[in-house]
């Protein structure tokens, strides 16, 4: 057999074998056992299955077209090198489909874990509540999963996936070591803030303001740093706006590292120096929710990492950044991006309900009427419980138990409400059955 015929036969076999492997990729709904309360909500499940089904369909069509070409006049006349190049393109596309499958598989497989699966579903509900700005953005589905490490991360919706196509859902990775305590809200809402900032086009619109207006301080280096850190500061602002002091205390838990890391300034890193990041979070809190707790927290952080051993250059830079913070934060929270139709960030973030005194009053009410806790918006519940713990009114052990019950409740409620809507029933009886 000559080399051209041998190459032709080998590629025919490889393409047909590839087709059999594609056929073995099954939809998640046929492959993953989990409790109904742990399952993804229909919008997320449908969006993921549609994306993967489209990838499988296009791959099968491509393999079929290749086989027809290979057995047709053009394929028989083609050189082995040309035929191989066309087949390699198909195999690379197959691996891209598998990469997307694995991306979502890592998320969905956890839903079959005892407790964790239901809690992840509850965090999906919390994330959706944290992302909601009614009338100003259409939030995508959000799904959460656990992973190792101390920090969270997000793969935003509508961004490009490996191998092509746009991500149909936001995927938030939560550090396993934060399950379960109010600190998880800090990580979660920071990542939700990244998604919100993208949907509201906050970074480009604020960047234009930062570059286009003269600043009272006139410190060009400090304003350059604010521009570099803008995306992360906006995400931290969103987190503080949603859960108040819980966000800053959770951030302290994440960035409490050896001094060398806490004071490291890397201009290639979009994150502020960890020491400054906590101070910025406290300054945001003081601007949104004036209260002595922010100065106390900032002092606590400085006590953990005093500046007296720091070199003069970094001490000078830190002092200049802190001096400029009020002007910068005022500019950010009063910014009016086009997406908010003339309103400022401060005006759309529902700040009144999260003033520290109101959070504590609400906690005292919930102690005598616990059913109200289960009816509260999830982000507000995290803010209330975290504030109560910070003020010594709620033990960490009790907070963990309450949050576990709340996550389970939110997962059950969203599942039953969804099934009720699908059945054409009113959602109220389903909710009432949970109390």
Q: What pLDDT, in 10s, does the model give residues 47-76?
A: 888 888 888 888 899 989 989 998 999 988
Quote the DSSP letter at residue 160. Answer: B
- Shared-domain flag, residues 231 and 177: yes
| 74 domain-assigned | yes
- Does 110 fall in a domain? no
| 247 occurs within a structural domain | yes
pLDDT tens-place string over residues 208-233: 988 877 776 778 899 999 999 999 99
* Mean pLDDT along residues 157-181: 85
Please give the pLDDT value at position 428: 45
Quote the CA–CA distance of 384 and 370 in Å, as a whole number: 13
Residue 111 falls inside a structural domain: no
Residue 108 lies in a domain: no
| 342 and 210 both lie in a single domain | yes
Long-range contact list for 69-76, CB < 8 A, 24+ apart?
70/8, 70/11, 70/12, 70/15, 71/12, 75/8, 76/8
Please check whether residues 124 and 269 belong to one and the same domain. Answer: yes
3-state class (DSSP) for residue 218: coil
Q: Where a domain ends, among 287, 317, 348?
A: 348
Q: Is residue 226 part of a domain?
A: yes
pLDDT confidence bin for 431, thresholds 50/70/90: very low
Q: Which long-range contacts (CB under 8 A, 24 or more apart) does 308-314 make?
A: 309/259, 310/263, 314/263, 314/265
Structure tokens at 379: 């982000």
The per-residue pLDDT for range 129-148, each reduced to its tens digit, is 999 998 898 899 999 988 88
pLDDT in the model for residue 34: 66
Closest CA to 28 of 115, 110, 95: 110
Mean per-residue pLDDT for 73-81? 88
The answer to whether residues 255 and 168 belong to one domain is yes
Q: 357 and 343 in one domain?
A: no
Q: Is the pLDDT of residue 426 over 80?
A: no
pLDDT confidence bin for 435, thresholds 50/70/90:
very low
Q: State residue 376 phi and psi, 5-degree precision.
A: -75, 155
Q: Is residue 90 part of a domain?
A: yes
Nearest C-alpha neighbor of 276 from the set 229, 215, 241: 229
> Do 261 and 375 lie in a common domain?
no
Q: What is the pLDDT of residue 204?
A: 95
Question: According to the model, what pLDDT value does residue 29 have?
Answer: 67
Q: Are residues 280 and 131 in the same domain?
A: yes
Bridge partner list, 147: 175
Do residues 38 and 25 both lie within one domain?
yes
Same domain? For 334 and 313 the reply is yes
> Within this chain, do residues 123 and 268 fall inside the same structural domain, yes or no?
yes
* Element spanning 389, H or E: helix 378-390
The two tokens of residue 56 are: 């499988």
Give the pLDDT mean for 364-370.
93
pTM of the shown model: 0.86
Query: Is the pLDDT confidence value at 1 over 60?
Result: no
Q: To the nearest whole number, what is the mean pLDDT of the chain?
A: 88
Q: Which domain holds residue 17?
A: 3-103
Separation between Cα atoms, residue 1 and residue 402, nearest integer Å: 74
Contacts within 8 Å (CB) and 24+ apart, 176-181: 176/146, 176/147, 176/148, 177/150, 178/250, 178/253, 179/116, 179/119, 179/146, 180/119, 180/400, 180/403, 180/404, 180/407, 181/396, 181/399, 181/400, 181/403
Last residue of a domain, one of 49, 77, 103: 103
Does residue 169 lie in a domain region?
A: yes
For the chain, what is the domain count? 3
Q: Are residues 173 and 232 in the same domain?
A: yes
The residue among 41, 75, 103 that closes a domain is: 103
273 and 412 Cβ atoms separated by less than 8 Å: no
One domain for residues 225 and 305: yes
Type and span of the H or E element at 173: strand 170-175
Burial group, residue 336, by CB count within 10 angstroms (0-12, 13-18, 19+): middle
Grade residue 424 by pLDDT with cuts at 50, 70 and 90.
Answer: low
């Amino acid at each position: 057999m000559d080399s051209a015929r041998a190459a032709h036969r080998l590629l025919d076999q490889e393409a047909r074998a590839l087709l059999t492997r594609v056929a073995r990729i099954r939809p998640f709904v046929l492959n993953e056992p989990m409790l109904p309360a742990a399952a993804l909500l229909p919008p997320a499940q449908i969006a993921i299955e549609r994306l993967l089904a489209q990838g499988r369909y296009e791959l099968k069509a491509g393999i079929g077209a290749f086989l027809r070409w290979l057995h047709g006049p053009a394929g028989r006349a083609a050189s082995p090198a040309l035929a191989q190049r066309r087949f390699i393109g198909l195999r690379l596309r197959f691996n891209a489909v598998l990469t997307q499958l694995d991306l979502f598989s890592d998320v969905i497989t956890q839903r079959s874990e005892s407790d964790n699966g239901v809690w992840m579903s509850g965090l999906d509900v919390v994330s959706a509540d944290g992302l909601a700005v009614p009338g100003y953005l259409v939030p995508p589905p959000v799904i959460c999963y656990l992973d190792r490490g101390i920090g969270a991360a997000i793969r935003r919706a509508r961004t490009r996936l490996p191998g092509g196509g746009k991500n149909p859902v936001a995927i938030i990775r939560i550090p396993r070591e934060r399950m379960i305590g109010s600190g998880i809200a800090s990580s979660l809402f920071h990542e939700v803030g990244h998604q919100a900032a993208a949907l509201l086009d906050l970074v480009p619109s604020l960047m234009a303001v930062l570059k286009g207006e003269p600043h009272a301080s006139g410190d060009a280096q400090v304003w350059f740093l604010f521009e570099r850190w803008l995306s992360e500061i906006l995400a931290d602002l969103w987190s503080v706006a949603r859960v108040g002091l819980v966000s800053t205390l959770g951030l302290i838990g994440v960035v409490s590292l050896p001094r060398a890391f806490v004071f490291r300034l890397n201009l290639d890193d979009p994150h502020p120096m960890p020491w400054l990041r906590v101070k910025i979070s406290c300054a945001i809190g003081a601007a949104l929710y004036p209260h002595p707790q922010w100065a106390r927290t900032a002092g606590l952080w400085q006590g953990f990492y005093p500046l007296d051993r720091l070199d003069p250059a970094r001490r000078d830079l830190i002092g200049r950044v802190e001096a400029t913070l009020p002007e910068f934060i005022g500019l950010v929270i009063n910014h009016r991006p086009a997406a908010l139709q003339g309103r400022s960030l401060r005006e759309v973030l529902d700040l009144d309900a999260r003033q520290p005194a109101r959070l504590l009053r609400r906690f005292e009410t919930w102690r005598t009427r616990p059913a109200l806790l289960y009816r509260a918006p999830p982000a507000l519940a995290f803010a209330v419980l975290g504030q109560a713990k910070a003020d010594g009114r709620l033990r960490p052990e009790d907070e963990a138990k309450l949050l576990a019950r709340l996550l389970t409740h939110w997962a059950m409620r969203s599942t039953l409400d969804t099934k009720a809507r699908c059945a054409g029933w009113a959602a109220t009886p389903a909710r009432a059955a949970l109390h």
